[in-house]
A and B are shown apart, each in its own frame.
Chain A
Amino acid sequence: MRGVVLKALLSHWRRRPLQLFSLAFGLALATALWTGVQAINAQARQSYAEAARSLGQIGFDQIIAPGGVLFDQSIYVALRRAGWQVSPVLQGQLRVNGPQSVDVIGMDPLSMPSPVTSSAMEGGAGLLTFITPPGQAMAHPETVAALQGAEGLPELLPVDGVPPGQLMVDIGVAQHLLDAPGQVSRLIVLDEQPLARAALHEVAPELQLRTGQDTSDIARLTDSFHLNLTAFGLLSAGVGLFIVHAAIGLAFEQRRVMFRTLRALGVSLNALTLALVAELLVFAIVTGAIGVVLGYVIAALLLPDVAATLRGLYGAGVSGTLSLQPAWWLGGLGVAMLGTAISASQSLWRLWRMGILAPARPRAWARQSQRGLWRQLAVSLVLGVLAVALARWGQGLVAGFAMLGALLMGAALALPPVLSGLAALAARASRGALAGWFWADTRHQMPGISLALMALLLAVAANIGVSTMVGSFRAAFTGWLDQVMVSELYVQARDEAEAEALDDWFETRADAVLPIWSDRVELSGLPGEVYGIVDHSTYRDNRVLLSGREDAWDRVFAEQGALISEQLSYGADLSVGDVLSLPGGLGLSVVGIYADYGNPMPQALIAQPVFNRVANAPQRLRLAVRVAPEKVGNLMRETVEDFGLPGENMTDQASIKAVSIRVFEQTFAITAVLNVLTLGVAGFAILTSLLTLSGMRLAQLAPVWAIGLSRSRLSVLELGRAALLTVVTAIVALPVGLLLAWALLAVVNVVAFGWRIPMQLFPVDWAVLGVVTMVAGVLSAAWPALRLARIAPAELLKVFAHER
């Protein structure tokens, strides 16, 4: 008996392969997007953890000098002699191949706590080669590949455990590479310490102990990005589940007759429900497995973009390779089953409550759903109020995303009542039987297609929201680049003497030479960088401040004020008028705040004399040269001839801008991909809904056809309806998308990246998107319409014979 029931149930899918496909596709897609995003996040987190572990950031206390400056290794030895179990680290940026730079991490393999390095060294030629100049450097295989042909580096050993973008070398080798003989950056305090040891202030009063953190700085910094990605993944997975819900709902409705027959034949409600649950379980497991594999593929395809994004935004190295982990299988299958359960619960509930001889008409379903429309509208209103409340009183990233969620769900739920209401209004306003029938039929179709339209609404809204954000960002970014990259030529000297010589040399050949001096220091408690600048109209005329005093530049060059970056302003909670504390107990009044997009480091601009007072290890190598653009080429050539300066030490404005724009575009590549994916899924949802509906609607269309409306006329009306519905949906989606953009720009981005961007509107993009959406809608409707146009009249006639 059980077998017969299952066979009967499954026969439905055999007869409707497309429905089966859309169910499987939706479920696999939801699982895939979820798994894919999780995989990317997991991979990134693993990379951070490795980086942090190898740097001894996680868990270990550290001893550092105030302001993070280097200190003498004799202090390390003194602490060891006093009983402290510490391990020295020297870390710094090394320029290779011109603009490229790597993070050099020097450590002592004997006292190092990390299993990363020690296990890595097993493969090496041994400790002797590692510590004897020129030494060896362990690096991620990707880094090794990127550094092929670089000069002045030790032999590179590819080691998977080393985070990308880093070179692990012996501390002695690092001191040589970074030109810091006898210096260390910090000491890692090992977990196991002896019974008694001298107090830190007795041995090294100039150093301070920083207690270990549970998570690395990078992990914390990028948390918001991953939350962003997760939200997108959830949204896409949600769209996939819309398809599943629609497919399951339809399958249940279409099998009402079968259910009734089976029940009448003596199958108990329990047995029937159980059989349906078993059927769904099998679907969930099979499609879940497909979804996990698909998710892996998606993750593998997207990971390079994500890695680029993270490098661009936060300087966080993430490996571009992926490994399939058992946890994803479990997670993916879990998502598939949970998704199926959520999608099917309503249908199962209805089945459970269905009377044994309930009329098996689609119309019954429609009416029930219409009752539901009011409920939906009420829920949507509640969600809308919640979104407004969260926007008004909510704080932080989670509130921001909750607001986005409430906004999107509320809008999606409101769509069917709105469309239904519009159709009712149109019906009232329309004249003629055909128009009356058209609107009534539209309303009648609504329950079947509303889920697909909701998916479309979400997709379009997300598209508008994200592209508005990216567009606003791009506009702000390019405008900012124009302000910052004013000088025509940027030169980096190889040492300070050369920098001075270059300065003199350019004085006679260029309109102006602006030295750019910088140093890494602590700014109001945050590790950041400070720039010492000289008074020149280049700054006054071009740099636009986000906020600041009228006389901001005068105050800066009068050594009475500092300009700070937006990131520093948010990070240290400083506004104009507050005091920025600099190393050496110096405080400067904040006179202005400027945008500094794409820089993870807090930053401050101060006058050069002040800079000289606060800098510990100043970099005085860079020069910005003002010269007529047409002279740049010649000047670069002459510089190479006169100074033998390598070409990569000079960059003209145009190249810098090009590189910056490219980094920017990479940064949002993943967003674009997810956008396209979501829209495509929504289009597919419409297609499957219409296809399924087209089969069911024969009963409604046959009488109209019998009255005299031709098949081609009918199909044109179908196409028109699809176009109309998608366009109205897109129009409803517009304000939702703009609200989304506002939330992203004003709430999420500020927390995630530390900058706020003025929102700009791109009506042309909306128009394009609207057309694309309509085309997608019409295309989705084309196949069902074509089928209708070509349907054999006999099929239509059968409707009258088959009257249920």
Chain B
Amino acid sequence: MNVKAILLPMVWLFWVVCAQAQSFAGLGSAADAGFATPVRGQALSFPTDHGAHPAYRIEWWYITANLQAEDGRDLGVQWTLFRSALAPEGGQGWSVPQVWMGHAAVTTARQHFTSERLARGGVGQAGAEAAPFRAWIDGWSMRGNPVTGPVTLKAEGRDFAYDLTLTANRPLVTHGEAGYSEKSDSGQASYYYSQPFYEVAGVVELPEGPINVTGQAWLDREWSSQPLDENQAGWDWVSLHFESGAKLMGFQVRDDQGAFTSGTWIHADGRVEPFRDAVVQLTPGKTVRVEGRRVPIEWQVTAPRFGLDVQITALNPQAWMPMLFSYWEGPVTIAGSHRGKGYLEMTGYD
């Protein structure tokens, strides 16, 4: 599909309010009347919350995987399903105001394959059901028990495909206050939980042929109606697997004043220490030119509270996602006080 041809009009189409250009993909636009908003202290409920929440404006099922081929090469895999509600209604039929979007990518040190899918809710082309769990758009799917696995994860594009099996032996992780994750000082928030402990095995198909892979993966589940404040332009987000077995989710949401930071330190045994307010520092380093804009592909990540001072470096600096709304997303390698691998996502660099 010629992305360029439909990009311009579709940006409008998908995230509805792109007039507010300072806020990435319109995520900072005010929640319209009728949409539900996250409430502090409301406990997450499983398995229901694995499924879709049509009353909320935006939701995603987000898996990033750091994989290794049999020959030792590093690969990254992304599988994302977004749900965007035009109105807080579910149901059946073409008039259901739920739009679904899928992003899939395979990244090696030299290559970066991406694909995108768009679908209407209500006719069966895309959706997410809690139990038995399945989330899908067209032929792409994530199905199985999201907590323990096995979860099968499939996607394919013009020049790549993957079929992975994910299993985990530790429980889900909630961020913020038991899943209520704040995104700004003025109270924007989302429900946010993860399964960062997936072990992965499977096959990635590239133009050169099938590659058997193993590695680890991270599931992020998040839903909200206005996750960003109006003056917030974008964010930098990392999910890092350290060799020690500990993990870190950290992000900063940039605004015209500075940045709002937050994150969660996950111990090797699954205990979590959520934090916010400058506990983690994300400092951009070297930048490169990617698709006509400069993007930092090295970051200094420090968190003195956890003895963390590492440099993360993109495996492939050109891991740009050229989608309806575009962003940078790719695997990173970690060096410094801790070693390991992870994923970096940067939005709002237009």
What is the interface of chain A, defined by CB distance below 8 A to chain B? Answer: 73-74, 76-77, 80-83, 85, 108-111, 113, 115, 118-119, 121-122, 126-128, 131-133, 170-173, 175, 190-197
Contacts and interface: CB of A to CB of B under 8 A. Distances in A.
Contacts of B124: 74, 77
Contact of A127 (B8, B13, B115): B13
19 contacts: A76-B125, A81-B136, A110-B119, A111-B118, A111-B119, A113-B2, A118-B6, A121-B13, A122-B8, A131-B86, A132-B87, A170-B94, A172-B95, A191-B2, A192-B1, A194-B115, A194-B139, A194-B156, A195-B161
A194 B1 contact: no
B53 to A, nearest CB: 18
A197 B118 CA distance: 18
Contact of B138 (A83, A126, A128, A170): A83
Contacts of A132: 87, 95, 97
A159 B207 CA distance: 42
Given A81-B136, A128-B97, 4 more contacts: A77-B123, A108-B94, A122-B9, A172-B93
Contact of B1 (A73, A81, A85, A133): A85
A355 to B, nearest CB: 67
B39 interface: no
A115 B139 contact: no
A6 B164 CA distance: 85
A108 B120 contact: yes
Interface size class of chain B, counting residues whose CB lies under 8 Å from the partner chain: 20 to 34
Contacts of B87: 128, 132
Listed residue (B6, B94, B99, B158) with the most chain A CB atoms within 10 angstroms of its CB: B94
A131 B6 contact: no
Nearest to B93: A172
- The 4 tightest CB contacts between A and B, nearest first, are A172-B94, A128-B86, A118-B9, A83-B139
Given A81-B138, A127-B16, A195 B157 contact: yes
B21 to A, nearest CB: 15
Contacts of B158: 192-195
Contact of B99 (A127, A133, A193): A127
A118 B10 contact: yes
Contacts of A191: 1-2
Contact of A73 (B12, B97, B123, B157): B123
Given A190-B1, A191-B1, A194-B158, A131 B139 contact: no
Nearest to B4: A115
Listed residue (A73, A77, A195) with the most chain B CB atoms within 10 angstroms of its CB: A195
B111 to A, nearest CB: 14
A24 to B, nearest CB: 46
Nearest to B113: A195
A128 to B, nearest CB: 4
Contacts of B139: 80-83, 194, 197
Given A77-B125, A133-B95, A110 B136 contact: no
B205 interface: yes
Interface in B131-168: 136, 138-139, 156-161
Contact of A115 (B5, B125, B138): B5
A175 B161 CA distance: 35
Given A127-B13, A128-B87, A171-B94, A80 B159 contact: no
Contact of B8 (A83, A109, A119, A128): A119
A131 B9 contact: no
Listed residue (B86, B159, B161) with the most chain A CB atoms within 10 angstroms of its CB: B86
B35 to A, nearest CB: 13
A86 to B, nearest CB: 10
Contacts of A82: 139
B230 to A, nearest CB: 20
Listed residue (B115, B123, B158) with the most chain A CB atoms within 10 angstroms of its CB: B123
Contact of A195 (B16, B94, B159): B159
A110 B8 CA distance: 13
Nearest to A129: B86
A110 B118 contact: yes
Interface of B: 1-2, 5-6, 8-10, 12-13, 16, 86-87, 93-95, 97, 99, 115, 118-120, 123-125, 136, 138-139, 156-161, 205
A735 B247 CA distance: 97
Contacts of A108: 94, 120
A127 B159 CA distance: 31
Contacts of B136: 81
B16 to A, nearest CB: 7
Nearest to B205: A195
Contact of A110 (B5, B120, B156): B120
Contacts of B156: 83, 194-196
Nearest to B157: A194
B161 A196 contact: yes
Contacts of A109: 13
A16 to B, nearest CB: 58
Listed residue (A77, A80, A193) with the most chain B CB atoms within 10 angstroms of its CB: A80
A107 B12 CA distance: 18
Contacts of A115: 5-6, 9
Nearest to A117: B9
Listed residue (A110, A127, A193) with the most chain B CB atoms within 10 angstroms of its CB: A110
Nearest to B136: A81
Contacts of B157: 194-195
Nearest to A135: B95
Contacts of A121: 9, 12-13
Nearest to A113: B1
Nearest to B115: A194
Contacts of B159: 195
Contacts of B119: 80, 110-111
Listed residue (A76, A175, A194, A196) with the most chain B CB atoms within 10 angstroms of its CB: A194
A126 B156 CA distance: 30
A197 B138 CA distance: 11
A361 B216 CA distance: 103
A290 to B, nearest CB: 40
Nearest to A108: B120
Contacts of B12: 121-122, 126
Contacts of B5: 115
A108 B118 CA distance: 10
A126 B17 CA distance: 9
Nearest to A127: B13
A82 B9 CA distance: 28
A711 B16 CA distance: 87
Contacts of B2: 113, 191
Contacts of B138: 80-81, 83, 85
Contacts of B97: 128, 131-132
Contacts of A197: 139
Nearest to A111: B118
Nearest to A119: B9
A122 B10 CA distance: 8
Nearest to A80: B138
Contacts of A113: 1-2
A85 B158 CA distance: 10
Contacts of B93: 172
B205 A175 contact: no
A63 to B, nearest CB: 15
B118 to A, nearest CB: 4
Contacts of A173: 94
A190 B6 CA distance: 13
B303 to A, nearest CB: 41
A85 B139 CA distance: 10
A76 B125 CA distance: 9
Nearest to B155: A194
A170 B97 CA distance: 12
Contacts of A133: 95
A35 to B, nearest CB: 32
Contacts of B8: 119, 122
Contacts of A77: 123-125
Contacts of B86: 126-128, 131
A109 B94 CA distance: 11
Contacts of A80: 119, 125, 138-139
